[in-house]
């Protein structure tokens, strides 16, 4: 709720769910009412590059106020998790390639961090019937990081749409982040916490690698 309050009050050019009540507890459960965001997501592979570009620009250009910096996590430790816990467990044919992909990501030039949603695409981005952006839901993974990560997340709508929506440098960085075993898997380790089930994580990565090698 602290994250939602900070982001909702930061001045983004689209709607964000806002907490309407304090957090209430019911035994071992907790709940809070939040504002409703109308609209719907685009289906996989569909999208308007202009709308995607405006969304990504709105996130990238938002000033990171002291309040936002206080509530947003800053990725750390993820490279060590991949290098030490994940890549050695990959099938032999993927280990060297996995190291090369990690090296490419680590070699990216530093950029100014921005507000990154880290789970864009699917039903988390709502558009109206004319394709205009209304709002963005589900901010529980929000962090301060390379904005190209969000461009990689938006590849749900097709890489051709992303190529038209962002500049060449951002597009290249987005593809490097996604190549690191799939951006949805990368996001799971960005907080640097040890994986609860490394075996299952590796299985999902191998399936992604095999699927995208076809």
Angstrom CA distances, 57 to 5, 23, 167, 180, stand at 21, 32, 11, 23
Length of the chain: 214
What is the residue-level pLDDT of the chain in tens, covering all 214 positions? 899 999 999 999 999 999 999 999 989 999 999 999 999 999 899 989 999 999 999 999 999 999 999 999 999 999 999 999 999 999 999 999 999 999 999 999 999 999 999 999 888 999 999 989 999 999 999 999 999 999 999 999 999 999 999 999 999 999 999 999 999 999 999 999 999 999 999 999 999 999 988 6
pLDDT at 213: 83
pLDDT at 10: 93
Q: Which of 142, 200, 151 is nearest to 173 (CA)?
A: 151
Residue with tokens 């789970």: 119
pLDDT at 214: 64
Helices (H), 107-196: 148-153, 159-165, 168-179, 183-187
CA within 13 Å, CB half, 193:
6
pLDDT at 29: 93
Beta bridge partners of 114: 145
**Alpha carbon distance 22, 196 (integer Å):** 31
Angstrom CA distances, 137 to 40, 44, 47, 54, stand at 11, 17, 17, 16
**Alpha carbon distance 7, 18 (integer Å):** 9
Domain boundaries, the chain: 41-213
Centre a 10 Å sphere on the Cβ of residue 116 and count the other Cβ atoms it contains. 26
- Structure token digits, residue 194: 């040890």
Active site residues: 119
Torsion angle (degrees, nearest 10) of CA 170, 141, 36, 122? 50
CB 182 within 8 A of CB 94: no
Q: How far is CA 94 from the centre of its chain?
A: 24
- The topology under which CATH files domain 41-213 is Aminoglycoside 3'-phosphotransferase; Chain: A, domain 2 (3.90.1200)
């Amino acid at each position: 709720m602290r994250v939602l309050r900070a982001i909702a009050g930061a001045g983004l050019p689209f709607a964000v769910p806002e907490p309407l009540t304090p957090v209430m507890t019911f035994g071992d459960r907790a709940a809070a009412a939040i504002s409703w965001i109308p609209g719907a997501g685009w289906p996989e592979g569909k999208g308007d590059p202009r709308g995607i570009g405006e969304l990504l620009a709105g996130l990238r250009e938002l000033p990171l106020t002291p309040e936002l910096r206080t509530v947003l996590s800053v990725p750390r430790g993820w490279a060590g998790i991949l290098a030490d816990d994940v890549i050695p467990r990959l099938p032999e044919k993927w280990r060297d390639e996995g190291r090369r992909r990690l090296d490419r990501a680590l070699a990216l030039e530093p950029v100014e961090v921005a507000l990154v949603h880290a789970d864009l695409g699917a039903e988390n981005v709502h558009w109206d019937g004319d394709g205009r952006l209304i709002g963005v839901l589900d901010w529980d993974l929000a962090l301060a990081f390379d904005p190209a990560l969000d461009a990689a997340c938006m590849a749900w709508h097709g890489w051709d749409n992303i190529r038209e929506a962002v500049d060449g440098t951002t597009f290249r960085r987005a593809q490097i982040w996604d190549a690191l075993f799939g951006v949805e898997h990368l996001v799971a380790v960005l907080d640097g916490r040890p994986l609860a089930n490394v075996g299952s994580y590796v299985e999902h990565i191998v399936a992604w690698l095999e699927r995208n090698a076809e």
